[in-house]
Structure 1
Amino acid sequence: MSDYRLSFPACVVAGKIRLSAEDMLLLRKYTFPEGIKTSDDVVTLLTLDACCPEKCPQWRDYFVEQLAHFIVHHCYPIGSLDEINVDWLRQVLCEDGVLASEIALETVLHVMDITRFVPLSLTLLMLDQLRVALEEQRGAYAARRTAGRAIGPDDMAFIKRVLRDRQEPGEPALSPATIATLEALDRATSPRPAEWHGAAGSADHLRNGKTPPLEQPRRWLQVPDSFFLQDEMVA
């Protein structure tokens, strides 16, 4: 058995079918009085999300904002991301390389919105969500799409959000790996809107760009292996 136990009232809420707005008030008052500030808080947040099949609308915003804020502003490197952060996001929020839930997808997008630096590996992971949606029709991003095999306006907005410029002066607009991923998307889609033709075609002259340097991996938040054993989450 795991040594990890939820405290009250989280232990009661985790056993419910639906996490209600009233439960949210209790959790914010007693379980997370200062928000998500520690690794134990993160484990509790993830456990509650996994244990309750239904959640009130307020849960999604709270989960996304609190987890993203913790990752970016309470973990090394403060205000930024490194490869260990990305590995953790991939391990905890992805299934077979795909963000399977809407809340996981929104969390990673919000992390990218508020951080100073996004590692190339995270950019490629997010662009790959669109490729998998186009080719395999699976994952959280596939569930929100309505354009079939075509690149639609929402897809273009998603790509622009993922590729938001955070590079230093003198760096190329796109790395070679990013260009290759965009080309894979180009091959996977049909028909192609004019805006997509412009984005894909403009990548050709950037092929010799330099890949942004990645920071060396360092220690980061540890989630116990027992978290992934569903029957051991709640005492």
Structure 2
Amino acid sequence: MSALAELTDSLTRRAAIGAEDVLAMRRLIWNDTQVSSEEAEAIMALNSACQLRSPEWIDYFVEVMLDYIVHQQVPQDYVDQAKADRLMHWIDKDGRVDSLSELELLIRILERAESAPESLKKYALQQIETAVLTGSGPTRQAGEFGGGALDPGSINAVEVELLRRILYAQSGADAYIVSASEAEMLFRMKDATLRADNAPVWDDLFVKGVANHLMAHRNYQTLSHDDQVKVERYEADTHVSLGRFFGRMFGQGGAELPAAAMGISTQMNDEAAAAVDHAVTPQETQWVIGQIRADGRYDTLEKKLIAFIRAEMTSSL
């Protein structure tokens, strides 16, 4: 049995990981600067098996798995669907995220990766919504978050901060933009927690999150995984023949390079595009009205939302 297998077997039987165990793990994993698939799987299994996890373990777990999933990706920092699916399969063996370390890993990937599948972001958001609606999950565990178990139908400050980080993470299409499905999730959570003792910061996240969906500028987009591969191939060519590289860019081959990679805007100028996005269209107005009417009432948070949108539109005139 290998040294890693002996250590993980011992920790699994104990069901606890302390600071000294993390030091032992560090000596066994990363000694060759690469994390293998077998090592990553062993770390995920150990995290699931041990209910008592020290803060040092949480930091180490996120650090190692982030390196494996994001930085050891080809191209680097572009998470493909296969790795995202594998991660969700590892986490979802019992149907949900069970620990702070797993949830923090999901969010950190979305924050650090240049691009990641939308399914990963949706999966992370689903964990927060489930915790709020059911009162159970990693954000309700006193041992890791410190907030303790709360009744279903309320939202705490930790959950608000995690939602904010996920919604505005850099990876994915329309980075930093709240999508329609995400805005609808905010409305669902608002309806479910309306009369609860929620964290004061929740009101601000709801109002600005929905307003972001309606009014944020969508000109910036990250390159797709395939486009980044293409860019890296062109960059590699410059080490061989700079003339050939520019010939491809401005000749027939240049058309293959993504416009975003060359700084070419395919839309109207940025200032004009931002003004168009900032305006609330008739379709968006109907969407907001539909969300407000869905539960048959015009509540305090919805009034705050409309007041904020009016103030934003007035300030831009």
TM-score of the superposition, structure 1-length normalised?
0.71
Counterpart of 1:232 in structure 2 is none
The alpha-carbon distance between structure 1 residues 205 and 54, as it changes in their structure 2 partners (threshold 3 A), is: closer
Equivalent residue, structure 1, for 2:109: 111
Q: Which aligned pairs between 1:80-159 and structure 2 lie closer than 5 A?
A: 80-95=78-93, 97-143=95-141, 144=145, 145=147, 148=151, 149-159=153-163
**1:8 correspondence with 2:3:** yes
Higher Cα Rg: structure 1 or 2?
2
- 1:70-98 CA distances to partner (integer Å, 9 max, x unpaired)? 10011244202232232222111124542
Q: Give unpaired runs (5+ residues) of structure 1.
A: 1-5, 217-235
Q: Output one character per residue of 1:77-127: Cα deviation in whole Å (capped at 9) or x when no partner.
A: 420223223222211112454211222111112212211123322222222
The answer as to whether partners of 1:32 and 1:41 remain within 8 angstroms in 2 is no
- The DSSP-based 3-state class of the residue aligned with 1:87 is helix
Match of 2:168 in 1: 164
2:3 aligned counterpart, secondary structure: coil
Query: Which residue number corresponds to residue 281 of structure 2?
Result: none
What aligned pairs does 1:25-40 form with structure 2 within 5 A after superposition? 25-40=23-38
Q: 1 CA distance for matches of 2:125 and 2:87?
A: 15
Rate the CA distance shift 1:121–1:214 in 2: closer, same or farther, 3 A.
farther
Check 1:212–1:122 CA distance in 2 against 1; reply closer, same or farther (3 A cut). farther
Q: How far apart in 2 are the matches of 1:167 and 1:9?
A: 33
Structure 2 residue matching 1:94: 3-state secondary structure = helix
| Paired-residue identity, % | 20
Summarize deviations over 1:176-210 as a string: whole Å, max 9, x none: 22222222222222247531452355267369x89
Counterpart of 1:202 in structure 2 is 211
> Normalising to structure 2: TM-score of the pair?
0.55
Aligned AA for 2:9?
A: A
Instruction: Give yes or no for contact 1:172–1:206 (8 Å, CA) kept in 2.
Output: no
Which residue does 1:41 correspond to in 2? 39
Q: Given that residues 78 and 113 in structure 2 are in contact (C-alpha distance below 8 angstroms), is that contact kept between their aligned partners in structure 1?
A: yes
Number of equivalent positions: 210
SS at match of 2:114: coil
Aligned equivalent of 2:192: 188
Deviations 1:58-81 (A, max 9, x none): 222111111111100112442022
Contact 1:72 1:79 in 2 (8 A): yes
Aligned CA-pair RMSD: 3.5
Higher deviation after alignment, 190-199 or 151-160? 190-199
Q: Which of 140-149 and 34-43 deviates more?
A: 140-149
Q: Secondary structure at the match of 2:78?
A: coil
Tell me the residue number matched to 1:178. Answer: 182
Matched residue SS, 1:131: helix
Q: Pick 1 or 2: higher relative contact order, CA cutoff 8 A, min separation 6.
A: 1
Letter of the aligned partner of 2:190 in structure 1?
D
Runs of 5+ unmatched residues, structure 2: 227-317
Q: When you count helix as a share of all residues, which structure comes out higher? A: 2
- Deviates further, 16-25 or 89-98: 16-25
